[in-house]
Structure 1
Amino acid sequence: MTRYPLASLIGACTASLLLATTAHAQTAQATPAAADDTKLHAADQAFVADATQAVSTQRDAARLATSRSTDRDVKAFAQRVSDDNAKLSAALRAASPRGVDVPNNDPDSAVLDSIKNLRGSDFDKLYIQQVALADERKALSVFQAEIAAGRNEQLKTAAQKALPTLQAHYAEAQQLAGRKHLSGSAQ
């Protein structure tokens, strides 16, 4: 058995302890920087919350429309919105930085509650005016605000890619409202 002088053992232990302490300190300093990567600017946080809610509300209202409407044009429009918004929701989730909570389904319950008990032409009228026109305008403004003021490049890019789809939905909703002689078609 090899014998080491006590001073050598103490020196080795001190060196090991010093290395471990230094490594821990460096890890502790790196952790806040990594946490800062998942923090979003207020505009980006608002976009994630508002866009998720807008897309979820449009999608869920469109699903209601496919079963409660009696008008084939309204049903066809609603099916496109439902399909497109399912894709938009997935794109938002994919564009959000790791560690950012993106709600899976967060629709505006007041909007859905206002139409869920209606059927036929009463449903169609309120769906077109409240959801297809008014709520689509809100969704457009949410995405346009992210494009203008957002700081997260991935979210801005997702908003830019989604904007033509939302604009097409709104234009189609205006045409639908015009064909049904409803207010809001010229806005």
Structure 2
Amino acid sequence: MNRITSLAAGAIVAAIGCHGAQAQTPIPPSPQDFVMAASQSDHYEIMAAHLALVQGQDPRVRTFAEGMVRDHTRLNEDLRKAAIASGLPSPSPGMSSDQAALLSGLQSLRGADFDKAYTRQQVLAHTQAVAVEDSFAAAGAEANLKKAAQSAVPTIQDHLKMARQLSAEVGGS
């Protein structure tokens, strides 16, 4: 498991571990790690959505994918601006090895099989993205990036809700 996926998984476990106890904010990633994780997430979402526009069958999946391209392009641009304003380098496009493997798994699928796999992946990806963005939005160390994360959280939470519903509807859950 690579470092970014470990960070996302750690944030999820920390959030779940607070159940029944007074809620504690998971330790956010460093500003550099946050920029890398958020940028990789956006890039994966955009690339997977482009595949969905070509290989998906269900019009609802294509509509969802169009929204992913639009929203994650905007979120990545907001992140880029926040990183530069924070004195960090602009994030370079790329994905984690886990995200690349997920994308590779989609490339050979078509039609309903693609729709099912894509929507399942979207639930997973957005669950991880919410964990990373939410932890930085709550307690991130850099103000510009924290503001960008706070702005991104509602959009990504909406995406997660839509992905769960769509996955259930196309049989991916």
The reply to whether TM is greater than 0.5 is yes
Long gaps (5+) in structure 1: 1-40
Query: How much does 1:104 deviate?
Result: 3.1
Is residue 2:104 matched to residue 1:113? yes
Is residue 2:125 matched to residue 1:135? yes
CA displacement 1:36-94 (0-9 Å, x = unmatched)? xxxxx962111011001011101110111011101100000010011100000100000
Out of 119, 142, 155, the position equivalent to 2:145 is 155
Q: Distance in 2 between matches of 1:110 and 1:178?
A: 23
Query: How much does 1:182 deviate?
Result: 2.9
State the match for 1:178 in structure 2. 168
Q: Give yes or no for contact 2:38–2:133 (8 Å, CA) kept in 1.
A: yes
Long gaps (5+) in structure 2: 1-27
- Partner amino acid, structure 2, of 1:126: A
Q: Give yes or no for contact 1:92–1:155 (8 Å, CA) kept in 2.
A: yes
Q: Distance in 2 between matches of 1:67 and 1:84?
A: 18
Out of 82, 92, 111, the position equivalent to 1:104 is 92
Q: Say which SS state the counterpart of residue 57 (structure 2) adopts.
A: coil
State the match for 2:80 in structure 1. 93
CA displacement 1:95-139 (0-9 Å, x = unmatched)? 114542233311232121111111111111110102x10011111
Q: Say which SS state the counterpart of residue 135 (structure 1) adopts.
A: helix
Q: What's the TM-score, normalizing by structure 1?
A: 0.72
Identity %: 35
Tell me which of the two structures has the higher relative contact order, counting C-alpha pairs closer than 8 angstroms and 6 or more residues apart: 2
Q: Which has the larger radius of gyration?
A: 1
Trace 1:4-15 onto structure 2 (pairs within 5 A). Answer: none
Trace 1:57-68 onto structure 2 (pairs within 5 A). Answer: 57-68=44-55
Query: How much does 1:148 deviate?
Result: 2.4
Q: What's the TM-score, normalizing by structure 2?
A: 0.77
Q: Distance in 2 between matches of 1:64 and 1:42?
A: 30
What's the C-alpha RMSD, in Å, of the aligned pairs? 1.6
